[in-house]
Structure 1
C-alpha cells in the first residue's frame, strides 16, 4: 500500500507538470501549543453530585412580588405601611378617583371588620355617587404598569362586603394611562355585609406594559375591598397562584439540581420575634414558613429585610411545587435564632427557640408527611397529596456569632436527626470566605461531624481567577461544602469568565463541593437592592446576563464524574505592588497630612504636606467635599461614600508610605490606599470600617473589593494616627502608631487558563471544559491517552468583549454551537476571553 500511494503521487505530479509548473502545496505545520492538557480517561475521578449546580432564590430586588410571583396588582391587600418602607402608605400604588361624576372617599382601615387576623388592613370606600357615577381606585401595577398581551386571559378576584341593602354594583376595567380600555370590562354586584370572593376573567384586546386596573363602585353606602388580584392564566405550568412564565422558564432552562429558598439575610434577620395577637401582627419578624401556607387571603404580609413589603403569595407550598416542576431538589433554609447580615444578636428566649425547632420538624412533615398527618394533610388540602421528598435542610445563614449560632444549630440538628435521621442538616461558615468567624465555625463544624457547611462569598474577578485551587486542600473526610452563594462583583462578561474559571475548580473538587449556586437569582431593573444578579426583568421582559449564559452552559453539561487531567501553561510570575497612593472616607469626615513615599534607599518618591494646596490630587469619582483646611487635606461630608482621591505614580516595588490621619466625625474611620491603578485595581487599609468595628486590608478590582485580612478595630475621633505601610514586592506590613497592626503576602498569580474534564455516562462523552480569560488565543495540545474517540466533537463557545454586558436592549453574549475535528491527540485554539465546552464521543 505505501508503494501504491507513492506511485499515484508521482502520477499526479507528472500530470500537473504537463500543464504548467505549479509548486507543491505542503500542509501547514500545526501551531506550537502554548498549553497542554493531558487526560487519563481510564482513571477514576470524583463522582459529581446529581444536584451539583442549583439556584438560590431570595426575595431581594423585588424578585417575588412584581417578579417571579405572577400577580399583576401591587399592594393588592393594602398592607403597604411605613414600617415596611417610610414612603409607603396603605394606598401605595393606588389612586382614588371617580368617573361620570362619581364621588366618595377611600381610606385604609385596620379594625375588627378585617378579612383575617393575618390580613388586617383593607380598603374602605364611602360612596356618594349620583346616578350614573362610579367611584373607586386605580392600581398602577409594577414598573411602568400592568402588562397584558393581546388575546391572553386574566383572572380577576376581590374580597368584598357592602352595607347597601340592594347590593353595590362593581366595575372592573383594565385600561391604559389615558383611560382607553385594554380589555372588555367586568361588572359584578357585591351583596351582603360579610366577606365574599368575587371573580371574573378579562381578555386583553391589545399589548401594553403601561396598563392600569380600576375597580370602581356605583351607588352609596360603605364598600369594603381586600385582596384585589389580577392573575394571568398563562402561568408557568398553568399553576393557579402561579409563577411568571418567562422568568420561570429561564430558571427551568438552567436545569437546576436544587432550589435554595426562601433566602439568606431574609431568613435569619429579625428572627427574635413571634406572633403576638395582643400587639397586632409583628411585621418585622423573619420569614417563617407557617406564615406562608394555606389560602392566600389568610397568609401574612411582612416587612422585607431589603426595605419593602412581601405578600407571601409566593410561599413554601409554591417553592416546593416549583422545585418539583423544574426537577430540582428543594432546599429550605430556616432561622437559627441568631441574626446575621449586620444584626448580631442571639436569642435568650428558650420557649421561642423551642418553637422554631418544632416549626422545623413540622416543616419536614409538611414536605414529607403522609396526607393523614397534620402538616402533610395541609399540603394535601393545598393540592399535593404526594410528599415532596425533602432530603436537605439548612439551619441559619451567615451568622457572625459563631459560638451562639453553633449551640443553637446543635439543638436543631439533634431534634431533626432524632425524628428524621436521613435528612442532611446543613450548617454554615458565616458571611465571608476567610477570617476569624469563618475559621471558628469550620472548627466547630468539623469537631461535630456536620454533614455539610454552607459557604458564601462575593469577590472580585481577580479573586476568583486566583483561587481556582481553593478546595484542593480541603479535608476529603470532613464536612462537605455547599457553596450556597457566590458571584463576581459585576455583571460584565469578564466577571462571568472569572466565575467559569473558578467553577472548573469546583468540579475538580466535586468530592468536597457537592452543591453550588450563583446568587442572587433575579432583579427587577426598577427596584435593585443588590447586584450582580443572574436574570434581570421589567414588567413584561426578561433577559439573562452573561453569567446566566455561562451558568446555563455549566449546568446543562455537568457530567457524572470528573476525569483526572492536568495542564501545563506559561509561567506567570508574581507582580510587585506599584501605582498611586490614595486617601478616602466612608460616611465619615477626616483629614490627612504629611503624606510621603520613600524608597528603601531613602529617596523621596512622593511627598505632600498640603502647604501649597492639594494640586497633586485628583478624584477617582467626584464624591465628598475635599479641601485644604489649616494645612491639612480634609473631607468634610459625613454622608459621602467612597470618596477616593489619588496622587503620584509609584513604579518602585519596595517603598514606605507614611502619613497622619484624623477622624473628625461620622460612622467609620478612614481609608488609606496604595497600589492604585488606572484600571481600578488597588489595595486599601480600611480602619474603623463596618460602623467603626473592624479594620481590614481590601483588594479592589472592577469596582468591587475582597478582604485580604481583617481584625477588630475602632478609630477615635479627634486623635491623630500615624500610618505606615511598608511594601516589599508582594509583602506588605502595616503599622498603626508605630505598632505592627498586620501583614500579608499577595504573591498569588492570575493564571488565565483553566480546565476540567468530566464524563457523561449516559452518552459516553468526555466533556472538555476550558476557560481562556485573557485577550490572547490559547493554542492547546489535548492528549486523551489511549482513549479512542470519534473524529468530530460538538462545541459550545461563549466569547466576546470582556467589558460587554447583556441588557434589555441587547444580549450580545450568547453561546455558539458547532463541530470540530478531534482525535486521541489533537490541537485546538481556544479564542480570547472564552468559555469552550467540547463534547467528545468515545468509541
Structure 2
C-alpha cells in the first residue's frame, strides 16, 4: 500500500508557496559580516549535484505528537474553562485532590456518589443546599475572560421542585458579566446560559447559587470563540499555532498515558476502575457520559477531548490521524504484561472497532456512532500504532503480533506501527528491531530524548539503516531544553532525517504543549497559560522545516569542522537516585600505576565535595547516602584534568527504588559520565553522558541491583575508550569519539515551485563563510531567505521572543556563489531554478 499522506501533495505545496510569497513582500538586503567581526569566520563549501536524484520525501515527513502531559488537554487545548467540572477528582488519584478541588463552597454542599447520579460513568454529583453557592477557580490564576467576548455556560441539574440557579462571572474586583438567572425543575436536565464579558480578567470565578436544594453535575463554561467555532471545541490560539506548523500527521492520544495504568475492565460489581489505561471507547459519545480518569502524569483527565475530537482536529488541519492503542504490556518504567486472554481479545476487538469508527460507513455499527456525533463521512485512517515504549520486548511483540494479524486480516490497507522501546540504543532496542525485521513489520516507532551534543554527533544515524527493512517513524525526540542551542542541535539532526527520507517516513518532536503552571516534563514545543501562548525556539525550527519540506532530496556534500576533542578528562563521583546506598574502597589509579586517589572512609569524607541533594555521612567505614527521596545526590573527588585512569569502588544498596550511580569524566555538575546501575526503577543499567545538564544514553542493558549485596565496580578510561567491569566480569565498553559537527546542511527540491531549498545549520558561535556550488544548475539571481539567528542560550517567553524568523532577499545568486551563514543560525535559501 502507499505510505504517503491522505491529503494531496498540491495542497501542501500551495501552503508553502504562500509563505514564500510573503517573504518576498518583506524582503530586505542580506549583508556580509562587518570587518570588525571578520576574524570570527570559518570557511566551508557546499557542493550540490542537481543531476543526481536523492530520496523522495513523503508528504508525511513531519507531524505533531499530542499527549495529555503538562495539562495539555484539560486546562490547555480543550477549551473548557471549569476545572473538575463533574466533581470526580479523588484522593485515590492524587494525594492533594478531593471531589471539591478547584471549588469553594459558601453555605452547605456535599459531593455524593449514590443511585441518584447522572449516569454510571459520571458517578459523583454535588448536593447543594438552598441558599448556598459554589465557585470554580479554573486553571492557572483563574478563569480567563475577555471584554466583549461571549461564554457559554451549561449545567446538569436536578431539583425536588421549582427553583432558580443564579450564575455569575466575577473576580475580586467585581462582576465580569451580567448575572444570569436559570429556572430549574425536576429530574436531571441540561440548562444553558450565555455571558458577554464586560471586563477582561485572568482571575475570574464561575459561581453557581441556588434558591432550592439542588443536585449539580457537569458545570461547564466554554468560550464561544473556539477553534473554528466548534462546540465542545479547542482553544483557538493553541489550535492555530499547531495548524501553523502545517503538520502532515497527528499522533495521539499519547505515549506513556496510553499503555500505563490499570488493565482491569469495567464491571457492574467493581464499578468504574480508576487509573484505567487509556481506551478510546471511554472518550466518545456525549461528554456527560464520558469518564474522568486518572492520568499517568499525576492529574485527572476529563476525556472531553476524546477520539472524535482528535480525528476532527486532524481533519481540520489537513493532517493524517495516527492513533496509538495499548498492547496490554506496560512501558515508561513499568514492567507488566497481561495474561488475561479474554481481556486481550477484547482490546484487539476494540482496535478493530476503532478502525470502523474512523473509516466505516455510517450504516456500520461504529460508523453510525461517528455519524451520530456529527461526522457521517469517514476520517480516512491509514496508520495505527500498537504500543508505546514497552520494556518487555518479547512479551510486547507477542501481543503486537496478535493485534497486527487481526488488523491485517480485516483491514489490509492499514499500516500497523510497532516500536523499538524507550531509548535509541541498548538491549531492548536491539531485540525489538530484530523482531520487527524478522517478521516484516512495515514501520517502527523510535523514541529518544538526548543532549544537544548527541544530536550534533548523530546526524548520520540513519545513513546505514537497512533500506529493505522496516521504515522509521521517529515519534518522539527532543534535545532536553528550550534554548536556541537545543533547537540548533535538533535542526542539525533534522537535515539527516531529510537526507534519509527513504528510511525515515515520519518524525514528530515531543511533547507538543505545556501549561507553565503544570509541568511534568521539559522541554516542550508550545508553552501557554490561561491568557497567552508562545512558541519555543524549537517550535520555530520545527515550523521552518515543516513548511519548507520539498519533494525530494538533491544530493549534496559539505566540508566539516576540524575535531579538536582530546581524551575523556574529569574527576570521579558517587551518586544515588531515590535510593540509599553505601560506597567503600574507592581507588583511582593512573594508567602508569600511580595512585591518584584512595579512600576507605576509615576517617572522614573531607576529600569529597557534595554538589547534589541528599544526605551523606561516613558510617562504619562506608560513605552512605541515606535519603531515599533525593534525586542525583552527587559527591565528587579528584581533579577535572585527570585522564587515562582506572576507578574502583565497592557499592551496596541499602533501600529505595534504584541502584548506584558511579561517575567519571566529571567536569562540573552538568558535564560528566556515569554508570547508572539499576536505574529506571531498577529495571536496567546504562552509561549516560551529561553535557550542559542534558543526558544521552551511550550503552544500556536490562539489569537490576539486589538490596544488601556488595558489588565491585571497575571503570577503565583510556583516551576516549571506556571499559566497565562488574564483579570482575566485563559488562560493556564504548568509544565516545564521534565529533559534534556544528555545520550541517541538506538540499531539497520543491516540485511545484521548482525551487532548490538549501537548508544550513551553523550551530557554533562563529559565522560560516560558505562557497556554494550548485553543480551547473541554472537558477534565478535572486533567492528568498529565512533565517533564525539568536544567542545560544536565548529562550522564547510570553513577553520576549528572541528566536523569531527573519525573511530577506539575496541577490547575486548564480551556479557558484558565496554566502556567510550567521553564528548560531538556521538558514533556508529558496533558489528558483530556471
Structure 1: distance between partners of 2:443 and 2:164: 59
Query: Which residue in 1 is equivalent to 2:754?
Result: 764
Q: What is the Cα deviation at residue 650 of structure 1?
A: 4.5
Residue 764 of structure 2 is aligned with which of 771, 774, 780? 774
Asked whether the equivalents of residues 575 and 747 of structure 1 are also in contact (C-alpha less than 8 Å), the reply is: no
Q: What is the Cα deviation at residue 448 of structure 1?
A: 1.3
Structure 2: distance between partners of 1:795 and 1:646: 48
Secondary structure at 1:265's aligned position in 2?
coil
Query: Which residue in 2 is equivalent to 1:182?
Result: 176
Secondary structure at 1:354's aligned position in 2?
helix
Query: Which residue in 1 is equivalent to 2:123?
Result: 120
Structure 2: distance between partners of 1:817 and 1:498: 22
Whether 1:582 and 2:573 are equivalent positions in the alignment is yes
Query: Which residue in 1 is equivalent to 2:206?
Result: 213
Structure 1: distance between partners of 2:686 and 2:700: 4
CA 1:31–1:153 in structure 2 vs 1: closer, same or farther (change >3 Å)?
closer
Query: Which residue in 2 is equivalent to 1:199?
Result: 192
Asked whether the equivalents of residues 611 and 669 of structure 2 are also in contact (C-alpha less than 8 Å), the reply is: no
Query: Which residue in 1 is equivalent to 2:303?
Result: 312
For residues 153-191 of structure 1, give each alpha carbon's deviation from its aligned partner in whole angstroms, at most 9, with x where no partner exists.
Answer: 000111111002xx111100000035x100011101111
Q: Which moved more, 1:151-160 or 1:399-408?
A: 399-408
Structure 1: distance between partners of 2:652 and 2:325: 44
Q: What is the Cα deviation at residue 800 of structure 1?
A: 1.4
Query: Which residue in 2 is equivalent to 1:8?
Result: none
Structure showing greater Rg: 1
Residue 91 of structure 1 is aligned with which of 100, 106, 119? 100
Whether 1:683 and 2:673 are equivalent positions in the alignment is yes
CA 1:287–1:714 in structure 2 vs 1: closer, same or farther (change >3 Å)?
closer
Whether 1:371 and 2:362 are equivalent positions in the alignment is yes
Whether 1:163 and 2:157 are equivalent positions in the alignment is no
Structure 1: distance between partners of 2:293 and 2:779: 58
Structure 2: distance between partners of 1:306 and 1:212: 26
CA 1:620–1:830 in structure 2 vs 1: closer, same or farther (change >3 Å)?
farther
Structure 1: distance between partners of 2:582 and 2:404: 51
Q: Within 5 A, what are the aligned runs for 1:408-807? A: 408-610=399-601, 613-621=604-612, 623-678=613-668, 680-807=670-797
TM-score, with structure 2 as normaliser? 0.93
TM-score, with structure 1 as normaliser? 0.92
Asked whether the equivalents of residues 271 and 335 of structure 1 are also in contact (C-alpha less than 8 Å), the reply is: no
Q: Which moved more, 1:366-375 or 1:196-205?
A: 366-375
Structure 1: distance between partners of 2:177 and 2:144: 12
Query: Which residue in 2 is equivalent to 1:404?
Result: 395
Q: What is the Cα deviation at residue 611 of structure 1?
A: 5.5
Secondary structure at 1:400's aligned position in 2?
coil
Query: Which residue in 2 is equivalent to 1:75?
Result: 84
Secondary structure at 1:557's aligned position in 2?
coil
Asked whether the equivalents of residues 33 and 781 of structure 1 are also in contact (C-alpha less than 8 Å), the reply is: no
Query: Which residue in 1 is equivalent to 2:46?
Result: 37
CA 1:212–1:276 in structure 2 vs 1: closer, same or farther (change >3 Å)?
same
For residues 710-746 of structure 1, give each alpha carbon's deviation from its aligned partner in whole angstroms, at most 9, with x where no partner exists.
Answer: 2243434444433321111011112233332222111
Asked whether the equivalents of residues 471 and 505 of structure 1 are also in contact (C-alpha less than 8 Å), the reply is: yes
Q: What is the Cα deviation at residue 311 of structure 1?
A: 0.6
Q: Which moved more, 1:776-785 or 1:270-279?
A: 270-279
Equivalenced residues, count: 796
Whether 1:814 and 2:811 are equivalent positions in the alignment is no
Q: What is the Cα deviation at residue 829 of structure 1?
A: 1.2
CA 1:693–1:298 in structure 2 vs 1: closer, same or farther (change >3 Å)?
closer
Secondary structure at 1:277's aligned position in 2?
coil
Structure 1: distance between partners of 2:774 and 2:204: 59
Query: Which residue in 1 is equivalent to 2:3?
Result: none
Query: Which residue in 2 is equivalent to 1:7?
Result: none
Structure 1: distance between partners of 2:489 and 2:343: 43
Q: What is the Cα deviation at residue 32 of structure 1?
A: 9.1
Secondary structure at 2:407's aligned position in 1?
helix
CA 1:466–1:379 in structure 2 vs 1: closer, same or farther (change >3 Å)?
same
* RMSD after superposition: 1.8
Structure 1: distance between partners of 2:432 and 2:685: 21
Q: Within 5 A, what are the aligned runs for 1:220-231? A: 220=212, 222-231=213-222
Q: What is the Cα deviation at residue 630 of structure 1?
A: 4.4
Query: Which residue in 1 is equivalent to 2:135?
Result: 138
Secondary structure at 2:783's aligned position in 1?
strand
Residue 381 of structure 1 is aligned with which of 372, 385, 396? 372
Residue 820 of structure 2 is aligned with which of 821, 829, 833? 829
Secondary structure at 1:468's aligned position in 2?
coil
Taking CA–CA contacts closer than 8 Å with sequence separation of 6 or more, which of the two structures ends up with the larger relative contact order?
A: 2
Asked whether the equivalents of residues 427 and 702 of structure 2 are also in contact (C-alpha less than 8 Å), the reply is: no
CA 1:679–1:716 in structure 2 vs 1: closer, same or farther (change >3 Å)?
closer
Asked whether the equivalents of residues 424 and 448 of structure 2 are also in contact (C-alpha less than 8 Å), the reply is: yes
Asked whether the equivalents of residues 84 and 102 of structure 2 are also in contact (C-alpha less than 8 Å), the reply is: yes
Secondary structure at 1:362's aligned position in 2?
helix
Tell me, which stretches of 5 or more residues in structure 2 are unaligned? Answer: 1-37
